[in-house]
Amino acid sequence: MKRLSIADVAQRAGVSTTTVSRVINDVSTVSEENRRRVEETIKKLNYHPNPSAQHLAAGKTNTIGLLIPRFEGIFHSYFAMQVIKGIGIAAERSRFDLLLHITDGTTFPAGAIDGVIFMDVYGCEELLDRTIDEKIPSVVLNHYLEDLPVNCVAIDNRLGAQRVVDYLIKLGHKEIATITGDLKTQAGLDRLDGFVNAMKTRKLPLPEGYLRYGDFGLPSARKAVEALLAMKHPPTAIFVASDDMALETINVAMSKGVRVPEELSIVGFDDNPIASQARIPLTTVRQALDEMGRLGFETLLAVVRGKKRMPTKLLLPTELVERQSCRQTWLER
């Protein structure tokens, strides 16, 4: 039993293969009569076009490459899966295929794809250069690449941090500290930067001790909050650069008899699913990770379809999610 081809359909429907091809691709004009007959025959025969043949003949693959760099961190975070979800659903809707590669920075599915999405740049620098050189349409997620002629879609971490400061000020806080993320990452850096900037702009004091360096790991957060709590003038609020660390910060504070939010307000960043489920639901900054994936895909699609030429650089807004880990300073304690 041979796999059936477009010729079988054509024969059974009493038309040429061209006509069948036309109804498959929903292209040009086909008489209502013929279209119906072909569609019926396709259904009856349960015919599916051979994608490889389509790609070869059409000179395009209808496939987007998704490159995930092979560094451990990316597999541990809430991040990657959300982004994949956004990309995946967008691709499904556009009837595009997604070719997944967990790359060590060398392999690349050139020829098999019309364009490529970099889930991150770390470890993919060379591949990225190559796509630029060879003019392969591409988009980089999660990194704002100022100077490179590449499309990119990232989160506005700076503005997110700024909003946190404004929110805490609105609640009456003046002594605000921060526990940073890993400053080797753009997210860590920008969240700190946005925080410091906002504090300066708002003319709030920022004693040196109020800046505590973490690395997104729980132990670093514990160390930081312990130091903060041990200060002569401990802060009344802490902006923690990730939800995981923020939750741990609350744990440590409570175990030391410091009540949250009554005596200490905490704000996180990420909006992990767990943040809302915690004993003290965490006030945090929501980033639309799946949106980032979706927009990355759609930006790339526009380029692939020739509807865009200039590099597009998107910075997605965040949203402050008010829950129960913060409190106005003027409420009785």
Residue that has been written with the tokens 């019309």 in this structure: 114
Q: Are 253 and 296 in contact (CB under 8 A)?
A: no
- Residue 316 binds what, of a copy of itself, DNA, none (CB under 5 to 8 Å, by partner type)? none
Q: Among 52, 149, 232, 330, which residue interacts with a copy of itself (rule: CB under 8 A)? A: 52
* Torsional sign, CA 22, 27, 32, 38: positive
DSSP, collapsed to helix, strand or coil, labels residue 151 as strand
Question: In this structure, what token pair is assigned to residue 292?
Answer: 């980032």
- Residue 16 binds what, of DNA, a copy of itself, none (CB under 5 to 8 Å, by partner type)? DNA
Q: Among 170, 174, 259, 279, which residue interacts with a copy of itself (rule: CB under 8 A)? A: 279
Q: What is the 3-state secondary structure (H, E, C) of 260-293?
A: CCCCCEEECCECCHHHHHCCCCCEEEEECHHHHH
Report in angstroms how near the CB of residue 219 gets to a copy of itself at its nearest.
Answer: 6
Q: Among 150, 168, 252, 314, which residue interacts with a copy of itself (rule: CB under 8 A)? A: 252
CA distance 324 to 186: 28
Binding site for DNA (CB under 7 A): 2-3, 5-7, 14-22, 24-25, 27-31, 33-34, 49-50, 53-54, 56-59
Residue 217 near a copy of itself by CB under 8 A: yes
- C-alpha atoms less than 13 angstroms from C-alpha of 232 in its C-beta half-sphere: 2
Residues 6+ apart with CB under 8 A from 80: 68, 74, 119
Q: How many residues bind a copy of itself (CB under 8 A)?
A: 52
- Residue 17 binds what, of DNA, a copy of itself, none (CB under 5 to 8 Å, by partner type)? DNA
Q: Among 7, 36, 104, 126, which residue interacts with a copy of itself (rule: CB under 8 A)? A: 104
- Residue 31 binds what, of DNA, a copy of itself, none (CB under 5 to 8 Å, by partner type)? DNA
- The CA angle 192-255-328, to the nearest 5 degrees, is 55
Query: Which residues in this chain contact a copy of itself in the complex, by CB under 8 A?
Result: 48-53, 55-56, 61, 66, 68, 70, 75-76, 78, 80-82, 84-85, 88-89, 91-92, 97-104, 107, 109-112, 217-219, 222, 244, 248, 251-252, 254-255, 273-274, 277-279
